[in-house]
Amino acid sequence: MIEKNNTMDQFTLDIIKDSLYAIGEEMFIAVARSSKSPVIYETLDFASALTDAKGNLLTQGNGVTGFIGLLSSIVKATINKFGIRNNILPGDVFIINDPYIGGGSHLSDVGIVTPIFYQNELVAFSANKAHWTEVGGKDPGSWGVDTNSIFQEGLQFPCVKLFEQGKINESVMDIIRGNVRYPDLSIGDLWAQIAGNRTGEKRFVELCDKYGKTLVMMSIERLLKSSEILSIKEIQKLPKGDYYAEDFIDDDGVGHGPFLIKVKVTVTEDSFICDFTGSHPQVPGPINSTYYATVGAVRTMFLAATNPSQDINDGVFKPLKVIAEEGSIFNAQRPAPISTYWESMSFASDLIWKALAPILPDRLTAGHLVSVCGFNMSGIHPDTGEPYLNVAPNQGGWGAGEGMDGQNAQFCIGDGETYNIPAEVLETRYGFIVESYSLLADGMGKGEYRGGSGVVKRYRYLNDENYFTGTFGRNKFLPWGMNDGGGGSGNRFRIIKKDGTIDGPFGKYPRYPLREGDCLEMIMGTGGGYGHPYKRPIDKVLMDYKNEFISLAQAETDYGVIINPDDGAFIALTKEREAFGAANQ
């Protein structure tokens, strides 16, 4: 043990702080390497964290940005329920996914909380949240676009003990096995989460053994306070004032919409306030977001506007305040359906983005695809005869910004640093053919800097008995451009039947039957453009044409550049572009 007379050594405190960050990353790796579901070990749809004994976030290993802040809320929910009765004991493990008491997102995102004791004193918690492929409910994959109550969406764990003083609660395990369609996947992912938390517990105890509990606690206090100070310093660099944005969410999947949403962002010397008052009330379909999920969305944009590279903890977010009316689409109340919550949560991020982009052009771009474009597919594997279930997000185009074209084929802001499931894994595990996987070249959002390209995926089915559920937001109200840049294109999917007939396009559809020879085509939209398109250099327009991002007609009508169709060479500028250039010299 290094601790001597409780002396505060700044270097040692920094080493302890960095050790806490390393523990969060090791927990994350432990879950990824031991999970059973591709949506976890390939896509990384989960997060791991350490908190202090009060539930304050200390460090987080993150896959999806939508989970930023949701791990401290599940720990605090555990403390609120069991801590007041002194019923948090060594060897306990808690399971929680109730989105209304701190679970935050939807029932498929299951949280595991493990208290950490040192010399019989509660000193911290390890926690994680991971997307289970199945938690039961009326739809395979446990989310659908036509649920009307949370009771249709799967098992609810209202923060219960999975382990009690080291002994597993077999009754809870039996309930899981008896209610999910793929118990091997769900139980396997549960054990991966337990392993991740135990990794965090082990490393934290080792840290206390090495440096002494007092120094570790001092480092934690210093970490939270210094992070708060750094956040305030970053806020002070921002232009002060009130900033507004409005938009529409397309629909709720059950025939209602569009829905007006709005935000006021207030930046002062020491606070950052996001007020969603006036946004649409919660809706009958499952796109509602709970308050906790909305907070996660706001935290993502707070980091983007202040210091994106900062390691996250609850000190970072101390100056942040989120206001959302109870019963609104951003603060839905039980028993509102929330299984596709990302269709409003991501819009909460996008609203703040839209409000602040004009004053932070060096950090925030034009609009992007926004939607997770989530889908689940179920069926029978044509080779093995075994049932399968595939749950995954999709990539699309991001918006252009000051001095840069938009990024191609990226996941939306709510998904963050997640990954695509490789075609080889898809074909092996699920038995369909990935027929094509290409960039969407529809012109993108026109501008001096053009929007990023979306993605087109085609899956061909080799047998009957397959079903597809998709929720592709931003299919009517499109990504926005900036500074005279054009808007992007929308997200949609369609079915190309074996006989060549086409059904669609759709934005949302539950359980579409896919037969042998049918082709599912998913089209993820493009990002908005930045700046007037007549300012785009001629050589870039020519290169866009040669790379087949734009057509001859688009080069002429959108960019004012006439191109020789035979060799792709420049011929002339249109009269409109010449007049624009003369007027803006």
Write out pLDDT tens, residues 267-308: 999 999 999 999 999 999 999 999 999 999 999 999 999 988
Model pLDDT, residue 4 = 47
Phi-psi region of 233 (alpha: psi -120 to 50; beta: other; left: phi over 0): alpha
**So what's the pLDDT on residue 55?**
95
Boundary of a domain, candidates 213, 229, 245: 229
Look up residue 103 and give its amino acid.
G
Which tops the pLDDT comparison, 60 or 523?
Answer: 523
Residue 403: count other Cβ atoms within 10 Å of its Cβ.
Answer: 11
CA 389/CA 394 separation, integer angstroms: 16
Residue 309, in any domain of the structure? no
Beta carbons of 376 and 322 less than 8 angstroms apart? no
> Which one, of 224, 232, 234, 263, lies nearest residue 247 by Cα?
263
Residue 7 pLDDT level (bands cut at 50, 70, 90): low
Helix (H) or strand (E) holding 539: helix 538-546
Mention every residue, 6+ apart, whose C-beta is less than 8 A from residue 83.
none
| Predicted pLDDT at 312 | 87
Convert the pLDDT of each residue in 185-198 to its tens digit. Answer: 999 999 999 999 99
What residue type is assigned to position 322 of the chain? V
For the segment 31-55, what is each residue's pLDDT rounded down to a tens digit? Answer: 999 999 888 888 888 999 999 999 9
Amino acid at residue number 401:
G
Which one has a higher pLDDT value, 56 or 84? 56
Distance CA 31, CA 190 (A): 9
For residue 505, say if its preceding peptide bond is cis, omega within 30 degrees of 0.
Answer: yes
Boundary (domain end) residue, out of 174, 197, 229: 229
Backbone φ, ψ for residue 323 (5° rounding): -120, 125
The secondary structure of 232-253 as a DSSP string is HHHHHTSPPEEEEEEEEE---S
Residue 260 lies in a domain: no
CA distance 260 to 248: 5
Bridge partner list, 512: 468
Q: Is residue 8 very low, low, confident or very high in pLDDT (cuts 50, 70, 90)?
A: low
Q: Which of 538, 537, 505 is nearest to 523 (CA)?
A: 505
The one-letter amino acid code at 314 reads D
Query: Which residue range forms the structural domain that includes residue 539?
Result: 535-583
Query: Could you give the C-alpha distances from 314 to 57, 219, 311, 464, in angstroms and in order?
Result: 5, 14, 10, 50
Does 302 reside within a domain?
Answer: no
Rg, C-alpha atoms of the chain: 25
| Distance from chain centroid for Cα 15 | 31
Average confidence (pLDDT) over 208-223? 94
Mean pLDDT of the chain: 93
Quote the DSSP letter at residue 401. Answer: B
DSSP 486: P
pLDDT, tens only, 477-503: 999 999 999 999 999 999 999 999 999
pLDDT at position 435 over 80: yes
> What pLDDT digit, counting tens, does each position of 113-167 carry?
999 999 999 999 999 999 998 999 999 989 999 999 999 999 999 999 999 999 9
User: Is residue 38 situated within a structural domain?
Assistant: yes
Please provide residue 61's backbone torsions phi and psi, each rounded to the nearest 5 degrees: -90, 120
Residue 11 banded pLDDT, cuts 50, 70, 90: confident
Q: Is the CB of residue 409 less than 8 Å from the CB of residue 419?
A: no
At residue 5 the predicted structure's pLDDT band, cuts being 50, 70 and 90, is: very low
321 lies in a domain?
A: no
Q: Could you identify the residue written with the tokens 């659908």?
A: 144
Domain end marker among 229, 258, 278: 229
Q: Is residue 77 part of a domain?
A: yes
Is 315 a domain residue?
no
The average pLDDT across 400-422 equals 89
Whether residue 509 lies inside any domain: the answer is: no
In this predicted structure, the answer to whether residue 430 has a pLDDT above a threshold of 90 is yes
Distance CA 358, CA 365 (A): 9
Alpha carbon distance 437, 394 (integer Å): 12
What is the tally of structural domains in the chain?
2
Which spans in 155-287 are helix H? 170-179, 183-211, 213-236
CA torsion angle 529 532 535 540 (round to 10): 20
Question: Does residue 584 surpass a pLDDT of 80?
Answer: yes
Q: What is the mean pLDDT of residues 358-364?
A: 94
Contact, 128 vs 51, CB < 8 A? no
